[in-house]
């Protein structure tokens, strides 16, 4: 049964009648008058029904950016809880305070440009400037939300597409250099964090992937492990999730040192549990967990890493820098970008180049030296 109909009121006037989605209660009906042709009324009815399905029971022409953003984030979408949490934070801090009162359908490219300029200079805490990266994140949230409005025919176009987010200055990623890696690992021996740090360096796995790793994912005889899931932390708690893309599901070969680290870690885990009377862990137990086998907090792992590095006077890098260090070592060894991309679980090699492009440029000097040596004509070969 149709949820709406159009009735002519005069030559250029139409009355639209439509019902809001029902949750089992009394039916709610809305009436809107539209001037123009019948086709204009049809388009308006489509927009009204789309808006109602997105949680807005008022005319799209009266919906503010704040109304729409809140409805979009609370509605149905293919976003992970962690992503929704981050999007809500950006929306509440960087979008609604500056664009919230603007009528959605009156949003124009100059408004987006002025918004960028404002939050770049005073969009942070205590009116401090925001970094171009954060402004870019906020822009992408708005763009994604407006694109959904276009798909639902609430908007005719995505005005955020007309304005590019601020450009970013090239920045060096945080890594341990070749001389620091051995020092860090040696200093961490005896600490609970040693095994997971060593595996992060050996595999380039993400923090959440390491904390979701099960013993059944590890084939130590074959020196491989399989990444099948990740642990995500939100305000609602911890949850396991599948990789974002098919490339995130991957098998990683292990160096001999990493195999030994895992064997030692498994033995220590077993001995600790037996000493505490907890019994043998299940075959699918987490490789890195609390004593009772429950998942560790990713955020706590990062905090523990910073605390331990500070107490041992080790280089002040974030835990994620171990992944970057792994990638930089592969690049320095001359591995091709496709192989590195697959090992890191990137969706495509261009992602790897975007993050680590400056490191590849350094290895290009080695390539230039190699081709120079190959092209030399004064090698003094024996011509017989």
The reply to whether 138 and 162 lie within a common domain is yes
The reply to whether 74 and 157 lie within a common domain is yes
pLDDT at 384: 46
CA distance 297 to 211: 8
306 within some domain: yes
CA distance 312 to 273: 28
Helix H or strand E encompassing 341: helix 337-344
The first and second tokens of residue 334, run together, are 């001359």
Of 326, 356, 378, the domain-final residue: 326
The reply to whether 89 and 27 lie within a common domain is no
pLDDT at 374: 60
Count of domains forming the chain = 3
CA distance 146 to 151: 9
**Interior CA angle at 138 toward 132 and 144, to 5°?**
130
Contact indicator for 104, 68 with CB cutoff of 8 Å: yes
384 within some domain: no
pLDDT at 352: 86
The first and second tokens of residue 215, run together, are 């013993």
The reply to whether 95 and 134 lie within a common domain is yes
The reply to whether 49 and 59 lie within a common domain is no
pLDDT at 187: 95
376 within some domain: no
> Measuring CA to CA, which residue among 20, 163, 153, 169 is closest to residue 99?
163
Q: What is the mean pLDDT of each run of 10 residues along the chain (384 residues)?
A: 77 80 62 82 82 61 86 80 91 95 92 95 89 93 92 85 84 81 93 95 95 96 96 90 86 94 95 89 92 93 95 93 92 88 90 77 58 58 48
CA distance 379 to 373: 9
pLDDT at 294: 94
pLDDT at 56: 59
> Measuring CA to CA, which residue among 243, 196, 206, 189 is closest to residue 321?
206
pLDDT at 172: 64
The reply to whether 207 and 77 lie within a common domain is no
Range of the domain at 125: 55-169
The first and second tokens of residue 145, run together, are 């939300």
pLDDT at 179: 85
> Measuring CA to CA, which residue among 215, 374, 368, 207 is closest to residue 303?
207
Of 282, 303, 326, the domain-final residue: 326
The reply to whether 159 and 292 lie within a common domain is no
């Amino acid at each position: 049964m149709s949820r709406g109909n159009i009735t002519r009121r005069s030559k250029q006037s139409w009355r639209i009648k439509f019902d809001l989605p029902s949750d089992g209660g009394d039916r709610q009906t809305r009436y809107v008058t539209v001037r123009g042709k019948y086709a204009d009324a049809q388009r308006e009815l489509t927009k009204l029904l789309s808006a109602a399905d997105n949680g807005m029971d008022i005319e799209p022409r009266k919906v503010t950016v704040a109304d729409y953003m809140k409805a979009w984030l609370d509605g149905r979408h293919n976003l992970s809880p962690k992503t929704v949490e981050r999007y809500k934070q950006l929306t509440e801090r960087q979008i609604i305070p500056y664009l919230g009162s603007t009528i959605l359908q009156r949003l124009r490219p100059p408004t987006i440009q002025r918004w960028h300029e404002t939050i770049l200079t005073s969009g942070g805490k205590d009116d401090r400037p925001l970094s171009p990266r954060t402004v870019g994140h906020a822009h992408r949230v708005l763009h994604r939300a407006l694109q959904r409005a276009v798909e639902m025919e609430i908007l005719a176009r995505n005005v955020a597409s007309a304005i590019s987010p601020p450009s970013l200055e090239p920045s060096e990623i945080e890594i341990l250099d070749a001389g620091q890696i051995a020092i860090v690992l040696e200093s961490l021996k005896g600490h609970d964090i040693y095994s997971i740090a060593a595996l992060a360096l050996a595999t380039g796995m993400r923090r959440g992937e390491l904390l979701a790793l099960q013993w059944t994912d590890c084939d130590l005889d074959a020196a491989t492990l399989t990444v099948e899931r990740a642990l995500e932390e939100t305000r609602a708690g911890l949850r396991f999730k599948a990789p974002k893309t098919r490339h995130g599901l991957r098998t990683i070969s292990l160096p001999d040192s990493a195999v030994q680290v895992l064997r030692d870690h498994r033995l220590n885990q077993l001995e600790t549990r037996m000493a505490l009377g907890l019994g043998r862990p299940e075959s699918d137990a987490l490789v890195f967990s609390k004593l009772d086998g429950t998942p560790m907090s990713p955020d706590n792992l990062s905090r523990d890493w910073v605390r331990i590095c500070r107490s041992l006077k080790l280089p002040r890098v974030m835990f994620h820098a171990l992944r970057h260090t792994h990638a930089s070592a592969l690049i320095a060894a001359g591995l091709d970008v496709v192989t590195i991309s697959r090992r890191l679980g990137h969706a495509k090699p261009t992602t790897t180049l975007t993050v680590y492009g400056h490191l590849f440029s350094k290895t290009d000097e080695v390539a230039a030296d190699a081709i120079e040596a190959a092209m030399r004509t004064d090698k003094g070969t024996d011509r017989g």
